[in-house]
Amino acid sequence: MAFLIAGRIFGLLCLLVIMASVAYYIKQAQGGTVPKVRRIPGIDAIDEAMGRAVEMGRPVFCSHGIANLRAATSGPQTLAGLSVLSYVAKQSLAVGAELYVPVRQPEVWPVAADIVETEFKLAGRGDEFDPDKIPFLSTQQFGFSSNYMGMMMRERPGANIMIGAYWAESLQLAETGSRIGAMQITGTANSSQIPFFLVVSDYCLIGEEIYSAGAYLTNDAPLIASLAGQDVGRIIAVILGLLGALTVTFGSNILLDLFAM
């Protein structure tokens, strides 16, 4: 067993079970069995927010957070934010909204710009793409937030969509959006920032909802099915949590020993 690193075996088993269940449901979906997914009001409201912005003659702001793509916990949040950006860019062209995408990380800028530019090209309007509307603001956290707030005060967006990893700037950005009357849809998996977003924005995606957003928006059967596979992991977590509470209460460390395998 020296081939496997001690202390990580149980984690690997859990990971494999979740991966297998996600793969199973994806295969099922490819065969035509697609599970039902509950509606997520925050994601449903993206179209409404964009429509409202167009009616008001105001632009739409869409941010994918301030994290890079490399970090273990915040990188996936950026990916989720970019999936939402892909949809927002497509919809902004469909409804005629002016889209701004403020960027903090230089390494994410080409990805964000490419997503928006490709949507313009796919819509046959490649010549209308303006890279100035996807500005790189600053790598400094508060340099980025002050610039973002300044942009919001000048451009007065009708919709402000912020989905990704945010830290202390979350309240600054969301509160500024609220002051200028933008309809705000926010979401993060950073638990310390969720309360700020909940208080200030119209709709807030909590934790894992942001990871589902890309699948939910594309309405692609295999992607939707993968969400069901995720539920298997949740059931395992609940069962282990209950078993852990019971075994520890009765003085047994069997589960702790299992986790440390």
Partner 1 sequence: MSDVLRRIEIPIALTIIATLLQVIPYYFEIPALESAANTASNGVLLIVACATFVGVISIIQVHGKRIQRQSEGWYYSLLVIGLSVIMALTGLPFPEAGLGVNNSIYNWLFINVQTPLGGTMYSIIAFFITSAAFRAFRARNLEASIILVAGTIMVMGNAPLLTNYFPFIADVSLWIRSVPNLATMRGVMIGGALGSIALAVRTLMGIERGYLRGGGEE
* Span 10-39, contacts to partner 1 by CB under 8 A: 11-12, 15, 18-19, 22-23, 26
Is 106 one of the binding residues for partner 1 (CB under 8 A)?
yes
In this structure, what token pair is assigned to residue 182?
């933008």
Binder of partner 1 out of 53, 196, 202, 203 (CB under 8 A)? 196
Choose which of 51, 180, 220, 258 interacts with partner 1 (CB under 8 A): 220
Report the alpha-carbon distance of residue 85 to residue 62 in Å, rounded: 7
Please state the closest distance from residue 52 (CB atom) to partner 1, in A: 20
> Is residue 67 a contact residue for partner 1 (CB under 8 A)?
no
Residue ranges in 153-182 that form contacts with partner 1 under rule CB under 8 A: 168, 171-172, 175, 178
Count of residues of this chain found to bind partner 1 when the rule CB under 8 A is applied: 85
For residues 102 and 158, which CB has a smaller minimum distance to partner 1 in the complex?
102
Q: Is 204 in the site for partner 1 (CB under 8 A)?
A: no
Q: For tokens 């942001």, name the residue.
A: 210
Among 34, 56, 95, 111, binds partner 1 (CB under 8 A): 111
Strand order in the sheet with 159-165: 99-100, 60-65, 159-165, 183-188, 203-206
For residues 55 and 150, which CB has a smaller minimum distance to partner 1 in the complex? 150
| Phi, psi at 170, each rounded to 5° | -55, -45
Element (H, E) at 61: strand 60-65
In whole angstroms, how close is the CB of 1 to partner 1 at the nearest point? Answer: 10
Positive/negative CA dihedral, 91, 183, 139, 211: negative
Q: State CA 227 to chain mean position distance.
A: 14
Does the protein bind partner 1 through residue 98 (CB under 8 A)? no
100 near partner 1, judged by CB under 8 A? no
Are 44 and 206 in contact by the 8 Å Cβ rule? The answer is no
CB contact set of 83 (below 8 Å; sequence gap of 6+): 213, 214, 217, 218
**251 belongs to the binding site for partner 1 (CB under 8 A):** no
